[in-house]
C-alpha cells in the first residue's frame, strides 16, 4: 500500500453488476471516506438499475451516454458533470458504438473490498472504510418504462 499508486499498477476491474448489455472496465482507489473510479463503458453498455449508499459525483472525460436517476433521464457528454444522490436508483446506457469514460467519486467508498480496488494508506494506517456501500440491483418495470418513455421522447424530438 501507500498514499500513491500509478494507474499502470492498478488491476482493471470489470462490471460490478450483471448488465443488460456490454462491458465496463474500472480502475478504483479508495481511502476511508471516499473512492475514485475511472470507468470505461464500451459501446452498447447498458447497466441494470441499481442503488448504493454512496453519493456519486461524475465527470465525463470522453464519449456520451444516457444516465437515468429514478425516473429522469439525460444525456451526458465529454465535459459534463452529474450527480447521483445516495440511495437513488440509477443506471447508464451507452447507445453509441464508441466508448465513454467517466471519473467518479463515491462517498462513502463504493465496494472498497472488491478484488480490484486499491486502498491508499500509509504503512501505519489500518484501513477502515466508512460504511458498507455496495451496488444493489433493482428489477422493476417502473424503471424500464421510465427509460422507454425518456428515450422515445428524445428520439421523437430528433425526428420532428
- DSSP for residue 3: S
The pLDDT value given to residue 17: 81
Is 11 domain-assigned? yes
**Is residue 17 one of the residues assigned to a domain?**
yes
Residue 148 lies in a domain: yes
Residue 132 pLDDT: 80
Cα–Cα distance, 101 to 91 (Å, whole number): 15
Number of domains the chain is built from:
1
Residue 160 forms part of a structural domain = no
- Identify whether 123 is part of a domain: yes
pLDDT tens across 21-43, in order?
999 999 999 999 999 999 999 99
Cell matching residue 57: 459525483
Residues 33 and 131: beta-carbon distance below 8 Å: no
Tell me, yes or no, whether 95 lies in a domain.
yes
Q: What is the pLDDT of residue 18?
A: 82
Domain-embedded: residue 62: yes
Residue 1 included in any domain: no
Domain of residue 55, residue span: 7-154
- Over the chain (160 residues), the average pLDDT of each successive run of 10 is 93 86 95 97 96 97 98 97 98 98 97 92 94 90 95 83
Residue in the structure block whose three cell numbers are 471516506: 33
The backbone torsions φ and ψ at residue 136, rounded to the nearest 5 degrees and listed phi first, read: -120, 115
Rounded (to 5) percent helix, strand, coil in the chain: 15, 40, 45
* CATH number of the domain that residue 21 is part of: 2.60.120.10
Grid coordinates belonging to 113: 473490498
Amino acid at each position: 500500500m501507500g498514499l500513491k499508486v500509478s494507474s499502470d499498477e492498478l488491476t482493471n476491474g470489470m462490471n460490478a453488476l450483471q448488465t443488460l448489455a456490454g462491458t465496463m472496465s474500472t480502475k478504483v482507489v479508495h481511502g476511508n471516506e471516499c473512492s475514485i473510479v475511472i470507468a470505461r463503458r464500451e459501446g452498447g453498455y447498458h447497466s441494470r438499475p441499481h442503488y448504493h449508499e454512496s453519493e456519486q459525483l461524475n465527470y465525463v472525460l470522453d464519449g456520451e451516454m444516457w444516465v437515468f436517476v429514478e425516473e429522469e433521464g439525460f444525456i451526458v457528454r465529454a465535459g459534463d458533470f452529474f450527480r447521483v444522490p445516495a440511495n437513488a436508483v440509477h443506471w447508464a446506457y451507452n447507445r453509441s458504438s464508441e466508448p465513454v469514460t467517466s471519473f467518479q467519486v463515491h462517498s462513502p467508498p463504493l465496494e472498497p473490498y472488491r478484488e480490484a480496488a486499491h486502498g491508499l494508506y500509509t504503512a501505519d494506517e489500518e484501513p477502515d472504510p466508512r460504511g458498507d456501500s455496495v451496488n444493489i440491483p433493482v428489477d422493476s418495470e417502473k424503471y424500464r418504462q421510465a427509460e422507454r418513455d425518456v428515450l422515445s421522447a428524445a428520439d421523437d424530438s430528433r425526428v420532428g
